[in-house]
Amino acid sequence: MHEDGHLCTGALHKVDSPYQIVAQNEYRANAYSFQKFLPPDELMLAMQMGYTEPWELADYFELPERDIKNALHYWIECKGVKFNNNIDMGA
């Protein structure tokens, strides 16, 4: 999912690129992958079906829990999306 974001956005860099370039490309790849694979409307639909914990959403979307937590952080903290459920982001 994340690597697809790199390829589709052109967010590619050399291994020895400056940290700022790497960080920007990682953000672009993540943002794209969350928009494509875990958009807020699909997350909300899953939550309305009863999948409210990150591990439940991971099972539902067949993705690692870490990807779900990263996507929730992106949507809630970076984009201001309000999910009505009380989600435990955990560590």
For 8-66, the pLDDT digits (tens) are 676 665 667 665 677 787 788 889 899 999 999 999 999 999 999 999 999 999 999 99
Express each pLDDT in 8-22 by its tens digit: 676 665 667 665 677
Task: Determine the residue type at 76.
Answer: I
Is residue 62 a contact partner of residue 37, using CB atoms and an 8 Å limit?
no
Interatomic CA distance for residues 64 and 59, integer angstroms:
8
Q: Which two tokens stand for residue 28?
A: 């672009």
81 to 36, 62, 65: CA distances (angstroms): 16, 22, 19
Confidence (pTM): 0.73
Give pLDDT, residue 84. Answer: 76
